[in-house]
């Protein structure tokens, strides 16, 4: 399945020091997968000492990443 990063997501990844590889890891092997609002979903993944959350929409043949952020712990 194709993974697409929106322009907004790419800006936020750079601002928050999140690599595309980390976002992909959260999608492919999340610790938690929840529904968000509308048709969005939230994948959470513990990476080192922090939790990464990725907000995305799943369509027919692709996943569109909307944003990603580290949880404050």
CATH number of residue 52's parent domain: 3.10.450
Range of the domain at 10: 2-70
The pLDDT tens digits for 11-51 are 999 999 999 999 999 999 999 999 988 899 999 999 989 99
Closest CA to 42 of 14, 71, 20: 71
Structural domains of the chain, count: 1
- Answering whether pTM is above 0.85, one says yes
Reported confidence tier of residue 61, pLDDT bands at 50, 70, 90: very high
Say if strands 2-5 and 32-35 run parallel, antiparallel, or are unpaired. Answer: unpaired
1, pLDDT greater than 90:
no
């Amino acid at each position: 399945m194709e993974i697409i990063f929106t322009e907004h997501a790419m800006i936020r990844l750079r601002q928050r020091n999140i690599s595309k590889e980390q976002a992909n890891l959260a999608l492919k092997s999340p610790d938690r997968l929840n529904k968000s609002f509308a048709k969005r979903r939230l994948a959470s993944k513990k990476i080192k000492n922090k939790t990464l959350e990725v907000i995305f929409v799943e369509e027919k043949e692709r996943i569109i990443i909307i944003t990603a952020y580290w949880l404050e712990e």
